[in-house]
Amino acid sequence: MNGRWVAVASVAVLAAGCMAAANVPPTSSAIVGGSSSPDELQPSHADAIIPWSSETPAPFPTPMPTPVLDAPTCRVGQLVGGDAGWEGATGSLLGGFLIWNTSGEPCRLEGGPSVKIVDAAGRPIDVTAVADSSPSARPIVLQARQPVPVLFEEAPIGLASVRLQWFNWCGPAPKEPLRLLATLPGGGVLRVPVVFGGGTPRCDASTAPSTLSIAPFEETPGPAPTDPPAVPAESLRLALEVPDHAVAGQTLHYVAILMNPTAAPVTLDPCPAYQERLNAEGGSVVREYVLACETMPVIAPGASARFAMDLDVPSSLKSDGGAAIVWSLDPYHSLGFPPRSPARKVPIRIVAP
């Protein structure tokens, strides 16, 4: 998480939920991106479904600064926190903030902060902090005199970022602007203003507490050096067939359809990666895999390929009528670039076993 949430559309995406696996009736649907004229190419439901592949993409290659292994723990007087904010994510608010080192000496952060949200008068609002174990915590060394990030631009390499997700606010609207009080593991508090987004999440359960999920410190990878070259998969359109519900503790089966609306064959080389995310009241589940392109290496003009999707739903998730599957194609991962295609979502309910 770079403290930035800017999507640049380049792959026309159609997200439409109609079907889960065999014998599951279609119920969820959403149409986004491109034209939705009924005369346009539509996915063929007669095509065989290509079995799901558990292959995961290679780690994204990012330059990393040389760590200073014996750097002392960061003191609050060395650090500045900023660029805090959040945006809507299926009723919750997803965002975070950045931390950088302004002192003349490197220092080390490890673990994660505790965070409170306070109103314009400095009063903490009634939100319960919950630690998020993803990603795994690891030490981050902040180099001396780090550059100040620019709001709404990619963060420089080597800063610290903290991802936050705020759920279920049912109280009165707090007086804004809001601020974050971030207590460091070694002590000391950073006061971080919320400078974009704002507002409060949706009230999903009036008797349940409002919670703030706090991820460990992550190191910003820095901006991508250049735009990726064009790849054939850029021209594909995407449809999702998703059931109307997923069962906690079971595997959700659904279908992703890649459709070729062009007059030329589209070769899946390099084979695209993809990311699937389940956003629910109790947290998010994020997985990345590679399509099973060896079964369908080329999509003919006007044809479509149907790929089985599997996503394990944690048993810890509670029933939730406002959850969503978010799916994005990433045809540039093997070239060392982040995805350019925007994520799209299809609503889904989480039900108990």
Q: Return the CATH number at 319.
A: 2.60.40.10
pLDDT for position 5: 31
For residues 165 and 155, is the Cβ–Cβ distance under 8 A?
Answer: no
Confidence of residue 50 (pLDDT cuts 50, 70, 90): very high
Residue 140 within a domain: yes
pLDDT at residue 250 greater than cutoff 90: yes
| Tokens 């809507």 sit on residue | 88
Domain check: are 284 and 183 in the same one?
no
Residue 246 within a domain: yes
Domain check: are 248 and 295 in the same one?
yes
**Residue 186 — φ and ψ, nearest 5°?**
-85, 5
pLDDT at residue 40 greater than cutoff 60: no
Full residue range of the structural domain in which residue 133 is found = 76-219
For residues 351 and 313, is the Cβ–Cβ distance under 8 A?
Answer: no
Confidence of residue 58 (pLDDT cuts 50, 70, 90): confident
CA dihedral sign of residues 237, 243, 245, 246: negative
What is the rounded CA–CA span in Å between residue 202 and residue 279? Answer: 14
pLDDT for position 342: 54
Domain check: are 86 and 183 in the same one?
yes
Q: Which two tokens stand for residue 18?
A: 């109609």
pLDDT at residue 246 greater than cutoff 50: yes
Domain check: are 121 and 160 in the same one?
yes
The alpha carbon of 305 is separated from its chain's Cα centroid by a whole number of angstroms, namely 25
Residue 15 within a domain: no
Residue 82 within a domain: yes
pTM for this model (two decimals):
0.51
Q: Which two tokens stand for residue 87?
A: 């945006």
Domain check: are 343 and 236 in the same one?
yes
For residues 306 and 51, is the Cβ–Cβ distance under 8 A?
Answer: no
HSE toward the beta carbon, residue 38, CA cutoff 13 A? 0
Domain check: are 183 and 287 in the same one?
no
pLDDT for position 228: 65
Residues 268-327 pLDDT 10s: 887 888 989 899 987 889 899 999 999 889 999 999 999 999 999 999 899 999 999 989
pLDDT for position 22: 34
Supply angle C-alpha 52, 56, 60, rounded to 5: 150
Residues 184-224 pLDDT 10s: 998 999 999 999 988 999 999 999 999 999 999 999 988 86
pLDDT for position 141: 93
Residue 101 within a domain: yes
Q: Which two tokens stand for residue 79?
A: 């650090």
Residue 44 within a domain: no
pLDDT for position 284: 85
| Tokens 């149907």 sit on residue | 306
pLDDT at residue 13 greater than cutoff 70: no
Count the Cβ atoms, other than its own, within 10 Å of residue 230.
Answer: 11
Residue 70 within a domain: no
Domain check: are 251 and 301 in the same one?
yes
Name which of 38-52, 63-77, 157-171, 236-250 the model is least confident about: 38-52
CB-based contacts of 257, cutoff 8 Å, min separation 6? 43, 238, 239, 240, 241, 304, 305, 306, 307
Domain check: are 88 and 177 in the same one?
yes
